[in-house]
Structure 1
Amino acid sequence: MKDILYIVVPCYNEEEVLLETSKRLEEKLNQLIRMDMISLESRIVFVNDGSKDSTWDMIESLHDSNPLISGINLSKNRGHQNALLAGLLTSKEHADLVISMDADLQDDINAVDEMIEKYYQGCDIVYGVRSAREKDTMFKRFTAQSFYKVMNMLGAKVVYNHADYRLMSKKALEGLENFKEVNLFLRGLVPMLGFKTDIVTYERSERFAGESKYPLKKMFALAFEGITSLSTVPIKMITRLGIGIFFISILMLIYSVGQYFRGETVVGWSSLIVSIWAIGGLILFSIGIIGEYIGKVYLETKNRPRFIIDSFINTTQPKEQTEQDQTRQRV
């Protein structure tokens, strides 16, 4: 009997694309079942992250008409990363392997085949990595590439050109469940698990419909979340900056004393004001960075739930019935 696959798809206001996404994923799931790569008990799990449109109503309707489609409804909007985690950890109880992807159809669904092949070859984590960004605008390409470079430079180690399109085995998900932090950045947490990993490259398509849920503002917020959640490099940079400014002040003191004995002392109002504003700005910036870390520690100590599931609709077949169906399908 083949392993059970769950495909987890976080959704926030995705009514424009949901029908097409469910159609393509259903076709892919049925194809994989016919190829005997996965079990008949495999499912597509849409996670409704507190959508304000009719996304959840559509998920319920899809489930009623097709048992291959399941749905998780969160009690309120918790953000993409928390919604994704809710889908992963809930699916872990039913599946042997889980693939996560976005609902916008930009990730190549056909890459799923190669991911599953690598899973059967012994990989516990398989990353979907974009092979190129030709279809992105120059600005989008620059900001995206800068995102990955800055993240790695500041200590948040992530897989280059990888978002949240990945396969994880049950063992990998059990490892992920041990990470209890409230400030989630899965792109940085998953590489910390270890285990055997591999990558599958694919060409990213344009969004099928609707608007991107990650505009530039949210990308900056996500990068900042990842850096401050996974790395102490910014605090170390503040320390080095303070030491550097201290040595510069000593040099300026030596220079001022030298100018005084040469009789060339000039009272410089402009330079004084600039120095005050520069040092003051650096101090406030440094306090802000430290404050962000203190705020995250504050949230972690509260140990609040990362998500609350309002309902989970899922149809599973008895194991005996599934085996009979598979036997009939092979015949």
Structure 2
Amino acid sequence: MTTLYIVVPCYNEQEVLPETSKRFLAKLKALIDGGKITDSSRILFVNDGSKDKTWDLIAQYHEQDCHFSGLKLSRNRGHQNALLAGLMTAKEHADCVVSLDADLQDDINAVDEMLAKFEEGCDIVYGVRSSRAKDTFFKRTTAVGFYKFMRALGANVLENHADYRLMSKRSLDALAEFSEVNLFLRGMVPLVGFKFATVSYVREERFAGESKYPLKKMLSFAFDGITSFSVKPLSIITSIGFIVFVVSILAAVYALVTFILGHAVSGWTSTIISLWFLGGVQLICLGVVGQYIGKIYNEVKRRPRYIIEDFLNQ
């Protein structure tokens, strides 16, 4: 039989953890009783430097039931690093690993179908939300635009998929070969290859607590994904520079012709607009280039992506 680990990154989740642990344990035991997974399967909560009582609750659940495991990072490292820490730890104990968030938005019952796909030979099974009808117009529009933009830039990302997925030990071993510090797992996992499948589910509202991805963090996460998997923004900057250069030549020719014909008029407005426009373009281009340089800076330092302080498992 299959040994399954369910990896759940947690950051300040004390409000939702009591219900999350209850539902996840019920699902795990139902799968064990049904003979689909072994009794050595576990729910692995990863505490990402929480400031509330999240770790205390995780330790408490572990004491009460051995099917709960806990991984404590030395400090907050962000969702992607916490998720990777859980995956890399779980792969040493499991045949396959399912990752999902603690907020109960992802349907835990989809794990049954994921396991069925795994038994059929799929190394990766993506959980894909069936609809975005519950999202606001703004969130729905920006999400669709993000996926289209990523694909246009050449990044292989699956639409309406977050980090709810099943991965086999073999695929996790392959993922471990990716050593970059700037993590965007939604783009990295498809690069692993191997046979994959998708499972659709209905995404619910967050059960309790606050979202860990407000608009500012979502925009930052999206930009990280773009710059981590495509250099096309740099090509776009080159194109913009060429276009501005051509326009400036045409403007110079126009100014020269009007001067020769005696129609030259001192244009304060056009001069100011041109200066602001060119200045804005230059600053944007420098900003994009700076983002890539910053990523290179982080990569070459080779600092650890996370440090494990404690691991509760039995």
Q: TM-score higher than 0.5 here? A: yes
Amino acid at match of 2:247: I
Matching residue of 2:42: 43
Cα deviation for residue 252 of structure 1 reads 1.5
Matching residue of 1:326: none
- How many Å separate the matches in 1 of 2:136 and 2:269? 43
User: What is the 5 A alignment of 1:1-331?
Assistant: 2-315=1-314
- Aligned identity (percent) is 61
Please identify runs of 4+ aligned residues in structure 1 that moved more than 6 A. Answer: none
Q: Deviations over 1:67-90 (max 9, x none)?
A: 000000000000000000000000
- How many Å separate the matches in 2 of 1:236 and 1:208? 43
- How many Å separate the matches in 1 of 2:283 and 2:229? 23
Q: Would you say the 8 A contact 1:127–1:166 is kept in 2?
A: yes
Look up the SS of the partner of 2:19 in the other structure.
Answer: helix
Cα deviation for residue 134 of structure 1 reads 1.6
Cα deviation for residue 273 of structure 1 reads 1.3
Amino acid at match of 1:220: L
Q: Deviations over 1:119-158 (max 9, x none)?
A: 1111111100010012222222223222322332333331
- How many Å separate the matches in 1 of 2:231 and 2:84? 24
Q: Would you say the 8 A contact 1:151–1:223 is kept in 2?
A: no
Q: Would you say the 8 A contact 1:155–1:227 is kept in 2?
A: no
- How many Å separate the matches in 2 of 1:147 and 1:212? 19
> Which ranges in structure 2 are unaligned for 5 or more consecutive residues?
none
Q: How many matched pairs?
A: 314
Q: Deviations over 1:238-295 (max 9, x none)?
A: 0010011111112222222222232211121111111111111111111111111111
- How many Å separate the matches in 1 of 2:121 and 2:88? 21
Question: Which deviates more, 252-261 or 4-13?
Answer: 252-261
- How many Å separate the matches in 2 of 1:235 and 1:219? 22
Q: Deviations over 1:3-59 (max 9, x none)?
A: 110000000000011011111111111111122111111100000000000000000
- How many Å separate the matches in 2 of 1:15 and 1:144? 28
Cα deviation for residue 230 of structure 1 reads 1.3
- How many Å separate the matches in 2 of 1:232 and 1:223? 15
Question: Which deviates more, 20-29 or 148-157?
Answer: 148-157
Look up the SS of the partner of 2:206 in the other structure.
Answer: coil
Cα deviation for residue 207 of structure 1 reads 0.8
Amino acid at match of 2:94: A
Look up the SS of the partner of 1:183 in the other structure.
Answer: coil
Q: Would you say the 8 A contact 1:259–1:265 is kept in 2?
A: yes
Q: Would you say the 8 A contact 1:182–1:300 is kept in 2?
A: yes
Q: Would you say the 8 A contact 1:185–1:226 is kept in 2?
A: yes
Amino acid at match of 1:70: S
- How many Å separate the matches in 2 of 1:291 and 1:206? 37
Q: Would you say the 8 A contact 1:130–1:203 is kept in 2?
A: yes
- How many Å separate the matches in 2 of 1:96 and 1:202? 23
Matching residue of 1:329: none
- How many Å separate the matches in 2 of 1:44 and 1:34? 16
Matching residue of 1:325: none
- TM norm structure 2: 0.98
Q: Would you say the 8 A contact 1:155–1:232 is kept in 2?
A: no
Look up the SS of the partner of 2:270 in the other structure.
Answer: helix
Look up the SS of the partner of 1:291 in the other structure.
Answer: helix
